[in-house]
Structure 1
Amino acid sequence: MAEKQNRKQPERPAYETAWEKIRSGMLRDLAWSVYPQLGKPGQMARDDWACVTSQGELVLNSARSGTVGEWEYVLTHCLLHLGMDHFRRERMDDPAWLTACDLLVTDFLRSSHTGTLPPEFQRTPPFPARSEEQAYSYLKEHPELLAECGFSTTTHGRPDMVWTGELPHRTSFQKLFAQSLQNAIQDALRSSSRLGEGMGRWRPDYLQARDWFLSSYPLLGALASSFTIVDDRDTVRRMGISVAAVNCQLRELYLNPDCRLHLEGWKFILAHEFLHAALRHDVRCQDRDPVLWNVACDFVVNDWLLEMNVGAMPDFALHDPAFRGMSVEGVYDQVCQDVRFYTGRDPKDLLYGDEAWWDTLEGSEVDEYYRSAIYQGLEYHTRQGRGFLPAGLVEEIRAVSRPPIPWDVELARWFDEQFAPMEKHRSYARLSRRQSATPDIPRPAWRTEPDVEHQRIFGVVLDTSGSMDRQLLAAALGSIASYSQARDVHHVRVVFCDAAPYDQGVLHPEDIAGAVQVRGRGGTKLQPGIDLLEHDPAFPKDAPLLIITDGACDRLQLHGREHAYLIPWGNRLPFPPRGPVFKLR
């Protein structure tokens, strides 16, 4: 028994300790988007340290011995290649460019006093490197200096940058590098101001909780590093924030410093707000009631955090075991059945911004960062065995990380549901084209029933007011025409609407685009166009409808007819739609 107690635990590899230090240091935003992996047998030489690929893979040589400081230097060296945009496809085979990049990274590490220089790097470069281009030009003029500038983290003159292709996603390592430096400067200024006020080494519990996520909880570590904490008393009081709130657009986390919570309670609160942002709860609200949607999100998130044993749930947090295992949408439906009871329990911790902002370039980059950060955190958390995660949370993270299905693909599925493939049969009424080869043998031809083909028709109600963009109309009508022809639908009943309906009759799909005209430029009133089709005996009662509008329309009475909406991306219908909505990008 004594032998078991005295048995020492295996020591942690130095490169793991160094990597944790980097993830909580100056380059934490960049480091949280890259995950190291050990090299396969035969992939690296015995004396190699590490190398980095153009797709953000950091390959380590676990057989190389080194101190924590030396590994910190080497791993930061590789990270800087990504952050400084050194992967130029046209120059990856040029030794002068690779050497110039190593010189600039070496100069940066020496000036910032990062880590401990390994013995092979403890020499002075032959000339100062002010930029990659300057060093590259100088080495081109003096190629004899290439042998003296070997600062690669691999041996035998091999480069530590390996081209493996373009990134499969939109991660920008350069922006993450800039963001890391900006956050490091802000932390330094904040720390110096507190020291100047005589606060010494004391840090509020919520800042200590944030640091805990950076160093010890990889699932939410990247998200924790990306938010700016706003703890100004006047600001949070003016915004009516009693505990905490998150603004996903501004990437700001508002915390009330007067809230009396201990460290474990702040861990729970911060994880709660990070999951709001990571799972895109503000965007997924759509046309739902924002107060009840926030309540439903809190019920689900709080139950997950209890299962994960993250911090300690405060007494005022919303929790109901009856909702365990349910999705946010399912809980929302339950909450809506007792609106009066749940309206007064609004936590007010999810701040909704401008929905159209997410359609801008900056909005799409922020959205992509949230999706990538939580997915990469899940992969690292699972691979390292860092703790239990509820199945519902894992499913939501994997669903959020996948890009949304393009509208034209969803529209194609809708066509498949409405128009099944036509069955063909053989008929002697029309001879096969092979008949001429064997005139003495009658051969039937494949054909479809003409009556069935004539019944395949659908309606298009098109908003042609001046607010509709012509390019979006062209994209929508072009896709409709293509899908109609591919599914043997040769009749389309078209009605244009702005302030009044304009019946275009039955058209062939390829004639729709040429018949569109912008009339009147008045307000959008689509109900008269719907009524025109509903009261027309020539239009089948079971024919589906496609409604193309900018969303500025009243609730439509469709009398149970199958229908779908096509609206511009970023717009929304003023009423909950019963049919599917395809957003034109």
Structure 2
Amino acid sequence: LPARTEETLFRHFCEQGMAADLASYSVTGTSFTDMIQSPPKSPRYSYGAARETWEQIFGHALVQAVSSAISIAGGAEPVGGQNRKRSTAAQRARDWFVSSYPLLGALAATFELIEEPTICGRLQISIAAVSDYGKEVYVHPAAGLTEAECRFVMAHELLHVALRHSMRCRGRDPFLWNVACDFVINEWLAEMRTVPQVGLLLDHSLKGLSAEAVYDRIVTDLRRFRRMGTFRGIGLGDILDAPSASWWATQAGRDLDAFYRNCLAQGLLYHHEQGRGLLPAALIEEIRALSQPPIPWEVELARWFDDCFPPLEKVRSYARPSRRQSSTPDIPRPRHLPAPLALDGRTFGVVLDTSGSMDRLLLGDCLGAIASYSESRDVPAARVVFCDAFAYDAGYMQPGDIAGRVKVRGRGGTVLQPGIDLLERAVDFPKSGPILIITDGFCDHFHVHREHAILLPEGRALPFTPQGKVFRFRRP
């Protein structure tokens, strides 16, 4: 072919077609092209922020490439983009946290800062992201952030790790949970410093709400919030994929989690001692709550039983006198017994998900805990209903029978509403009796019109917002 311009060859191929022998003249073969021209998944700037022209972006990249080449030639860095001694805006922001901001200084010193364009492009990072498992903070150098903007972005990512947002997901949608956490963190940081001009999730109507409360709000409008963009990009969470909940239960996971919690707790103490400025009250409350050890699900369930079944009041009774004293055999002594009719209606219902997806070992642990709590709270019997796609009424069972061998019926599909309706309409079940629902979360929406609680395995979630208390259990 004669030497022509790209436009001339393109028009020639469009009008006359391309010869078959030219199809193999490609560095990638006949099935692929060496230029990927798909549109970017997320714009560099959003939410009304100013865009840079392609000439400005090219100029910044050219300056970085020349600086990297000079550093390689001088031996300052072995590979392009890996010069840790080069003073970039992100490096200066990280050094500022270590030297001047003790709240996040320990975390900033622990995490490795990665500003490699190739790695950020492979991970689809538009501005920044964080990995709590790998102890890495990613900042895309092409974002063109100033030092003040880098401080905001880095504080945002470090707070994701310090507040354990990846562990608190608990079966929720990861991206929507990430968006909810972004709203909360950005509101705190906006109170402390100027908002950067890179576009971020900020809604003052959500001020004062926790991440869990914000999540419950945004799930009501999925079509809108699915299009939201984090610092990583539109539709992508800036908390990179974390290991499963089972890994955090291992010794290495517990040690890493305890390290992050201690860093934040000690940082808050040093921040107040050195007088480094005021912090939002909600952030301080969140840090102090995170410093407390989590309450086991057995303790939470015991509190629920205490609320539903207060201790029995004992009265003096001469119906069955106690042993008389030898010194005064003619004086009868009363006994302290529960008040008459105190045990009437002192019961609760158990709706047990017996579908095929329910783990029998977890099922046994829950039944054992329910039996022990029932016996300690003077509950003579509980109404048990097995439910898969149909409700099987097992009647009233004593705590000893529940703790023993129980014949479970079902192991089919999962529809819990028939079991709940059976208890609510039962003539021999108290109108004020609470209901305890044990399920694995793979069920349809159900309605309960009285006091109730739900037992869920760790890491699972219901397909709707529950009205009663939710306790998450796991095997030790």
C-alpha distance in 2 between matches for 1:245 and 1:196: 22
SS in 1 for 2:378: coil
Higher relative contact order (CA 8 A, sep 6+): 2
Report the Cα offset of residue 578 of structure 1: 2.0
Q: 1:544 aligns with which of 429, 434, 442?
A: 434
Would the alpha carbon gap of residues 328 and 356 (structure 1) be closer, same or farther in structure 2, given more than 3 Å must change?
A: closer
Report the Cα offset of residue 459 of structure 1: 1.4
Structure 2 residue identity aligned to 1:570: G
Report the Cα offset of residue 224 of structure 1: 1.7
CA deviation profile, 1:427-483 (whole Å, cap 9, x unmatched):
333323447763433443322234230210111222345544444334322322222
Match of 1:120 in 2: none
Report the Cα offset of residue 308 of structure 1: 3.6
Would the alpha carbon gap of residues 363 and 498 (structure 1) be closer, same or farther in structure 2, given more than 3 Å must change?
A: farther
In the alignment, is residue 328 of structure 1 matched against residue 211 of structure 2? Answer: yes
Match of 2:117 in 1: 233
C-alpha distance in 2 between matches for 1:449 and 1:248: 57
Match of 1:580 in 2: 469
In the alignment, is residue 405 of structure 1 matched against residue 405 of structure 2? Answer: no
Report the Cα offset of residue 238 of structure 1: 4.3
Match of 1:248 in 2: 132
489-498 or 505-514, larger mean C-alpha shift: 489-498
534-543 or 430-439, larger mean C-alpha shift: 430-439
SS in 1 for 2:371: helix
Match of 2:199 in 1: 316
Report the Cα offset of residue 509 of structure 1: 0.9
Match of 1:527 in 2: 417
Structure 1 residue identity aligned to 2:387: C
492-501 or 508-517, larger mean C-alpha shift: 492-501
Report the Cα offset of residue 404 of structure 1: 0.8
SS in 2 for 1:194: coil
Report the Cα offset of residue 537 of structure 1: 1.4
Structure 1 residue identity aligned to 2:451: E
Report the Cα offset of residue 232 of structure 1: 3.4
CA deviation profile, 1:46-79 (whole Å, cap 9, x unmatched):
xxxxxxxxxxxxxxxxxxxxxxxxxxxxxxxxxx
C-alpha distance in 2 between matches for 1:338 and 1:525: 26
Q: 1:257 aligns with which of 129, 141, 166?
A: 141
C-alpha distance in 1 between matches for 2:225 and 2:411: 44
In the alignment, is residue 475 of structure 1 matched against residue 365 of structure 2? Answer: yes
Structure 1 residue identity aligned to 2:405: A
C-alpha distance in 1 between matches for 2:471 and 2:462: 11
Would the alpha carbon gap of residues 538 and 435 (structure 1) be closer, same or farther in structure 2, given more than 3 Å must change?
A: farther
Contact 2:387 2:410 in 1 (8 A): no
Would the alpha carbon gap of residues 402 and 536 (structure 1) be closer, same or farther in structure 2, given more than 3 Å must change?
A: same
C-alpha distance in 2 between matches for 1:548 and 1:247: 34
Match of 1:487 in 2: 377
C-alpha distance in 2 between matches for 1:563 and 1:490: 19
Q: 1:276 aligns with which of 160, 165, 172?
A: 160
Q: 1:346 aligns with which of 226, 229, 233?
A: 229
Match of 1:218 in 2: 102
Contact 1:306 1:313 in 2 (8 A): no
Greater helix fraction, Structure 1 or Structure 2: 1
Q: 2:404 aligns with which of 504, 514, 529?
A: 514
Would the alpha carbon gap of residues 227 and 436 (structure 1) be closer, same or farther in structure 2, given more than 3 Å must change?
A: same
Contact 1:264 1:312 in 2 (8 A): no
SS in 1 for 2:166: helix
TM-score by structure 1 length? 0.60
CA deviation profile, 1:195-247 (whole Å, cap 9, x unmatched):
66597953322123223222332211222233333433344334433211223
Would the alpha carbon gap of residues 261 and 284 (structure 1) be closer, same or farther in structure 2, given more than 3 Å must change?
A: same
Pairs within 5 Å for 1:120-139: none
Match of 2:453 in 1: 564
Q: 1:382 aligns with which of 253, 261, 272?
A: 272
C-alpha distance in 2 between matches for 1:325 and 1:501: 43
SS in 2 for 1:495: strand
C-alpha distance in 2 between matches for 1:325 and 1:389: 14
Structure 2 residue identity aligned to 1:533: L
Contact 1:464 1:517 in 2 (8 A): no
Would the alpha carbon gap of residues 583 and 472 (structure 1) be closer, same or farther in structure 2, given more than 3 Å must change?
A: same
C-alpha distance in 2 between matches for 1:550 and 1:437: 63
Match of 2:321 in 1: 431
CA deviation profile, 1:167-198 (whole Å, cap 9, x unmatched):
xxxxxxxxxxxxxxxxxxxxxx9x96726659
Would the alpha carbon gap of residues 193 and 403 (structure 1) be closer, same or farther in structure 2, given more than 3 Å must change?
A: farther
How many aligned positions are there?
A: 394
SS in 1 for 2:348: strand
Contact 1:292 1:342 in 2 (8 A): yes
Same amino acid, percent of matched pairs: 54
Contact 1:426 1:444 in 2 (8 A): yes
Structure 2 alignment gaps of length 5 or more: 1-71, 231-236
SS in 2 for 1:281: coil
Would the alpha carbon gap of residues 272 and 500 (structure 1) be closer, same or farther in structure 2, given more than 3 Å must change?
A: same
